[in-house]
């Protein structure tokens, strides 16, 4: 067990596609990264590609498991992340699937992506094509599944939201002490009034509508939310997903 702890896991990547081995051509890397970024923002599933040189003698399965855990790919609770690891010098590949997607990308499918797409193309020297097609196959598989709910993105602006809630509670407490009867009247009104009167301005009641709003596209809603994500981080950030060693590996 003590030897296992020594494995070096790089810090969480900043982008959806990371290539520290010069494996992909710059434009292929950019297009793929943009594609996975857009997929993350639209569909909510985090799919990342990490290309390194070597695991330093450790099995790639172990590296992949530890990295997936450290980077928390996928959303918390849904565990819907996928990570494709390629070690250029070791010539090893691992597709690591989050718990939530194990039924959508069973090991057999992950194995076929590796054995039928990645390995033949890598053997032929087409690394751009190999990674691109493998990612396409992964996205195709996920898109056919039934865990949608891209709304869980809320976590990213939760810090601001929490502060606002705390401030509101404090303000209300003061209000309650100074003028209890008016405060009570207020409370009854809010809870009795129903969602109808609030839905216009509120984030929380807009839940069902918000996902629809996102898919309408160019509306004010999706623009403002997109801007929010960008300013609060810009790059890739793990959402708290977990995996349990699902997926497949191979070598070429």
Partner 1 sequence: MATEGTPAGTARPRRKIGLGLGCLVIVIIGLLILGTWGAGIYNSLVSLDQNVRSQWAQVENAYQRRADLIPNLVETVKGAAGFEQQTYTAVAEARAKVGQIRLDESLLTNSEAFARFQAAQDELGSAISRLLVAVENYPELRATQAFRDLQVQLEGTENRITVERQRFNEAAQAFNTKRMSFPTVLVAGLFGSRFAEKAYFKAQAGAETAPKVKF
Number of residues that bind partner 1 (CB under 8 A): 20
Out of 77, 111, 129, 240, the only residue in the binding site for partner 1 (CB under 8 A) is 111
* Integer Cα distance of 22 and 32 in angstroms: 15
Q: 63: closest CA among 50, 76, 75, 46?
A: 50
Burial class (CB in 10 A: 0-12, 13-18, 19+), 124: exposed
Out of 62, 128, 133, 151, the only residue in the binding site for partner 1 (CB under 8 A) is 62
The secondary element (H helix, E strand) that includes residue 127 is helix 127-143
* By CB under 8 A, residue 247 contacts partner 1: yes
* By CB under 8 A, residue 244 contacts partner 1: yes
Interface with partner 1 by CB under 8 A: which range of 25-33, 102-110, 164-172, 189-197?
102-110
C-alpha distance from residue 75 to each of 7, 20, 138, 229 (Å): 25, 25, 17, 15
CB of 16 to partner 1, least distance (A): 24
Interface with partner 1 by CB under 8 A: which range of 55-63, 78-86, 191-199, 205-213?
55-63
* By CB under 8 A, residue 4 contacts partner 1: yes
Q: Are 68 and 237 within 8 A, CB to CB?
A: no
Interface with partner 1 by CB under 8 A: which range of 61-69, 145-153, 196-204, 207-215?
61-69
* By CB under 8 A, residue 110 contacts partner 1: yes
Residues 144-163 that bind partner 1 (CB under 8 A): none
* Integer Cα distance of 46 and 118 in angstroms: 20
Q: Are 65 and 230 within 8 A, CB to CB?
A: no
Out of 9, 77, 107, 133, the only residue in the binding site for partner 1 (CB under 8 A) is 107
CB of 40 to partner 1, least distance (A): 25
CB of 2 to partner 1, least distance (A): 10
* Integer Cα distance of 47 and 16 in angstroms: 7
CB of 235 to partner 1, least distance (A): 27
* Integer Cα distance of 98 and 242 in angstroms: 6
Q: Are 204 and 168 within 8 A, CB to CB?
A: no
* By CB under 8 A, residue 115 contacts partner 1: yes
* By CB under 8 A, residue 248 contacts partner 1: yes
Residues that bind partner 1 (CB under 8 A): 1, 3-4, 59, 61-62, 65, 106-108, 110-112, 115, 244-249
């Amino acid at each position: 067990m003590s030897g296992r702890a020594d494995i070096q896991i790089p810090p969480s990547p900043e982008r959806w596609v990371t290539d520290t081995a010069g494996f992909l051509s710059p434009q292929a890397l950019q297009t793929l990264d943009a594609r996975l970024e857009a997929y993350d923002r639209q569909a909510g599933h985090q799919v990342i590609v990490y290309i390194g040189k070597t695991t330093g003698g450790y099995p790639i399965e172990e590296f992949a498991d530890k990295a997936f855990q450290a980077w928390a790919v996928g959303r918390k609770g849904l565990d819907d992340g996928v990570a494709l690891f390629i070690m250029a010098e070791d010539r090893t590949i691992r597709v690591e699937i989050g718990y939530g997607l194990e039924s959508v990308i069973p090991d057999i499918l992950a194995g076929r992506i590796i054995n039928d797409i990645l390995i033949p193309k890598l053997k032929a020297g087409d690394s751009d094509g190999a990674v691109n097609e493998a990612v396409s196959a992964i996205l195709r598989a996920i898109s056919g599944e039934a865990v949608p709910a891209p709304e869980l993105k809320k976590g990213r602006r939760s810090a601001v939201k929490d502060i606002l809630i705390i401030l509101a509670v404090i303000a209300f407490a003061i209000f309650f002490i100074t003028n209890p009867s008016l405060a009570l009247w207020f409370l009854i009104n809010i809870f009795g009034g129903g969602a109808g009167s609030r839905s216009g301005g509120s984030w929380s009641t807009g839940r069902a509508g918000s996902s629809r709003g996102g898919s309408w596209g160019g509306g004010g809603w999706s623009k403002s939310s997109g801007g929010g994500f960008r300013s609060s981080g810009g790059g890739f950030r793990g959402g708290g997903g977990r995996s349990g060693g699902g997926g497949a590996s191979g070598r070429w």
